[in-house]
């Protein structure tokens, strides 16, 4: 497929031994709960793929076996200015081999958001990161054509996605292109709030990210979903009403009160720590 060529072009020479994830709820892993109640998410799953790629050298010291370090600085609800102000300098100091950078989604869904101005902030962060770390992988937006409310922002998200691709070209960054990932157009790829991925959705994004980095992945992120019985229009409207009551109205309320879901949240993995012994 087309992404295979890009994945080969951006394959890192030396094996990646450290990875820092920067972003918001998408990168934190909201929608993909772990057994202890914390979020897992695509970035955690990508870290496992990268760690499994490390060679097992029988002559290496024990400390070198599985010597992969991972940090996740992402915090839900954060706007791009705060991500650039707090997470990007931290990622620069950690100096990991790989940084994934995803930001701007929370800005785009706000009234009056200008994707051109958001992209300017995004590019300044990419410029800073590429001067400090080995590889910076940038992430486009999803295509929201099938998402109620968000489908009306499709033009803004498409414009921003075009900016991200252009920035990647200017700075030589691999691109995790979520707009073209067709499998996440299925509603089963999304959590009940329709804003965050489900565990399977996060898994498919991690698989695509691995492909982009030239890592052998255990499954095709575009593998077909199992067939589902068709839903009637009445069932669809009932689901939309329930979704609006449970998720959309509270979200609007938080916006009106100037609150964010990340006001009292902290990064789940702020330091580069071994992923496994």
pTM score: 0.84
Residue with tokens 């770390």: 133
pLDDT tens digits along 122-137: 999 999 999 999 999 9
CA distance 172 to 253: 41
Q: Sketch out the chain's domains with CATH numbers.
A: 2-231+266-274 (3.40.50.1110)
| Side-chain half-sphere CA neighbours of 32 within 13 A | 25
| Contact indicator for 33, 156 with CB cutoff of 8 Å | no
pLDDT tens digits along 216-270: 999 999 999 998 777 655 545 666 666 566 655 565 665 556 655 655 679 999 9
Residue with tokens 């992969």: 68
Provide the H-helix boundaries in the chain: 2-9, 25-28, 41-53, 80-82, 88-94, 105-108, 115-130, 154-171, 199-212, 233-243, 249-257
């Amino acid at each position: 497929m087309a992404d295979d060529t890009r994945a080969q072009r951006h394959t890192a020479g030396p094996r990646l031994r450290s990875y820092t994830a920067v972003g918001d709820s998408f990168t934190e892993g909201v929608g993909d709960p772990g057994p202890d109640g914390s979020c897992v998410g695509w970035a955690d799953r990508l870290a496992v793929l990268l760690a499994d790629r490390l060679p097992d050298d029988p002559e290496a010291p024990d400390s070198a076996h599985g010597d992969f370090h991972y940090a996740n600085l992402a915090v839900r609800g954060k706007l791009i200015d705060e991500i650039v102000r707090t997470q990007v300098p931290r990622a620069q100091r950690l100096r990991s081999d790989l940084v994934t950078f995803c930001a701007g989604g929370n800005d785009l869904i706000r009234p009056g958001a200008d994707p051109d101005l958001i992209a300017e902030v995004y590019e300044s962060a990419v410029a800073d990161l590429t001067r400090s770390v080995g590889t910076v992988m940038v992430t486009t937006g999803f295509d929201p054509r099938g998402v109620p409310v968000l489908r009306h922002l499709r033009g803004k998200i498409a414009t921003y996605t075009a900016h991200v691709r252009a920035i990647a070209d200017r700075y030589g960054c691999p691109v995790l292109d979520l707009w073209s990932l067709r499998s996440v157009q299925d509603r089963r790829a999304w959590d009940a709030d329709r804003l965050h991925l489900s565990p399977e959705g996060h898994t498919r994004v991690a698989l695509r990210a691995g492909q982009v980095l030239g890592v052998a992945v255990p499954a095709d992120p575009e593998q077909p979903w199992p067939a589902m019985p068709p839903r009637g229009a009445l069932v669809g409207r009932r689901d939309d009403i329930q979704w609006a009551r449970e998720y959309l109205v509270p979200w609007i309320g938080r916006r009106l009160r100037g609150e964010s879901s990340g006001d009292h949240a902290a990064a789940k993995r702020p330091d580069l720590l071994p992923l496994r012994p």
